[in-house]
Structure 1
Amino acid sequence: MKRTLLFPLVLVAGVLLAHSAGAHGPTPQKVDETVEIKASPAAVWAVAGDFAGIAKWDAEVKASEGSNKKRVMTLKNGEKIEEEVDEYDPARMTYTYRMLAPNLKALPASSYSATLVVTPGAQGTTHVQWYARVYRGDTGNEPPDELNDEAAKTALSQLFKAGLQGIKAKAEGKS
């Protein structure tokens, strides 16, 4: 008798688990970009460590203002994003920050947190890694293409790649 009661309970539990697995919201997506720069870590940090000065080295950013605690970026499309630093450590040449409020016209993400790290590379170069966890702009179960996971990852990756190329150019004295 116990066996006949157990089977329906297992079946119901399995159906509920399968249903709830398909009904969850978005999962964090990862963006991870790197660059090797022919300059010392100190020279690279002199550029990359200027958190509020991102417009000086990221071609995707038209203007920026703030401090090493908070910045407001104006992107090329004229839209603004406000970010706040969670950790700023010049001795370790790293900072971690997050977006404070979504602006889907600026970036198709509902939230993100990112970290930039400058470390010595091989043969006198410097390695810069910029990585993030990002959530898509539409947190529903069926987001439109312009607000889905791929759109959020692509937009943030583009911002990071442009920034890394700008850091490289400035640190190597090419801009």
Structure 2
Amino acid sequence: MSTETARIEIAAPADEVWGLVGEFGGLDTWMAGVDSCEVDGDVRTVVTMGMKVQEQLVARDPEARTLTYSIVGEGAPVDEHRATISVAEAEEGASVVTWAVTVVPVDATGMFKDIYQGALGHLKTHLEG
């Protein structure tokens, strides 16, 4: 297995950024291309690019500002998936957001990193205006 990490610095306080990315059911409020996001228990169903993908919440730590989830069931071209998005404080009231992903098959890892990097770019635009 191989882990890839998307990363971006955002000119917004970490608590403000976490307020968006830390909401498991709020993906459709900031991630481009997500048509809807509905939560049932610890599973969210994300409708994006004509696909319906189910993701299960693995861990959420508001103090550390981390959220880990895995794709479960059908809907994505992977056998295994685990991703963690985290928000850390940076200098002068800014934040650093990372989105690490491990996928099987390994050759799909780069695709997910690219998707997450694009999503982080959209998050930056959303927060910075």
| Residue pair 1:68, 1:88 contacting (<8 A) in 2 also | no
Change (3 A) 1:115 1:68: farther
Number of residue equivalences: 129
Q: Which residue of 2 aligns with 1:6?
A: none
Matched, 1:60 2:33: yes
Bigger Rg over Cα? 1
| Residue pair 2:101, 2:113 contacting (<8 A) in 1 also | no
Q: Which residue of 1 aligns with 2:87?
A: 118
- TM superposition score normalised by structure 1: 0.67
1:4-15 matches, within 5 Å, as none
Tell me the SS of whatever aligns to 1:52: coil
Seq. identity, %: 26
> Structure 2 CA distance, aligned partners of 1:72 and 1:48?
16
> Structure 2 CA distance, aligned partners of 1:96 and 1:82?
14
Q: 1:80 aligns with which of 37, 52, 58?
A: 52
**Greater per-residue helix proportion:** 1
Q: 1:163 aligns with which of 116, 119, 123?
A: 119
> Structure 2 CA distance, aligned partners of 1:157 and 1:114?
10
Q: Which residue of 2 aligns with 1:154?
A: 110
- Where do 5+ consecutive residues of structure 1 fail to align? 1-27, 137-148
Cα RMSD after superposing both structures: 1.8
- TM superposition score normalised by structure 2: 0.89
- If asked which structure has higher relative contact order (CA below 8 Å, sep 6+), I would say 2
> Structure 2 CA distance, aligned partners of 1:71 and 1:123?
34
List per-residue Cα deviations over 1:113-142 (Å, max 9, x = no partner): 110110001232100010011002xxxxxx
- Where do 5+ consecutive residues of structure 2 fail to align? none
Change (3 A) 1:68 1:31: farther
**Greater per-residue strand proportion:** 2
Tell me the SS of whatever aligns to 2:109: helix
List per-residue Cα deviations over 1:50-72 (Å, max 9, x = no partner): 22111221113222111683211
Tell me the SS of whatever aligns to 2:79: strand
